[in-house]
Amino acid sequence: MESKNFICGGALGFDHIAASMVLLKRQNGMNVRLIIALPCHNQEVKWSERQKSLHRFLLDEAEEIRYISEEYANDCMKERNHYMVDNSAYCICALSRSFSGTAQTVRYAKQQGLQVINVAKS
């Protein structure tokens, strides 16, 4: 059986929750791979120690880590989001605001023909 890849963005909040759920599925026997796409090295530099600890754990458990840029640049977040969309069949998100990086990514995913699953939609 072919494994399913899940690409997570590595940001605080939904990305970390989604990555944790993939690891839980893997622990329960599902054939899934966690790929974490990061905009740059050291994105977590301003995070709390607790946030950094979870982030390091997720990185250690991931099958693959993709860094879009060596250092922070103005467009590295957008490039990371496009990388995730361009390498995916679905877009699973928690979109609650129409003007955000998530909203931009969802619009791009729809333009690319991906099915969007919004878990925040009521």
Interacting residues of 111 by C-beta distance below 8 A, sequence separation 6+: none
Tens digit of pLDDT at every position of the chain (122 positions): 788 999 999 999 999 999 999 999 999 999 999 999 999 999 999 999 999 999 999 999 999 999 999 999 999 999 999 999 999 999 999 999 888 999 999 999 999 999 999 999 86
Q: What's the pLDDT at 122? A: 60
Which segments within 24-79 are labelled E, that is strand? 32-40, 64-69
Q: What's the pLDDT at 10? A: 95
First to last CA, the chain: 34
Q: What's the pLDDT at 3? A: 84
Domain 4-88: which CATH number of 1.20.120.1760, 1.10.10.10, 3.40.50.450, 3.40.50.12280: 3.40.50.450
Q: What's the pLDDT at 2? A: 81
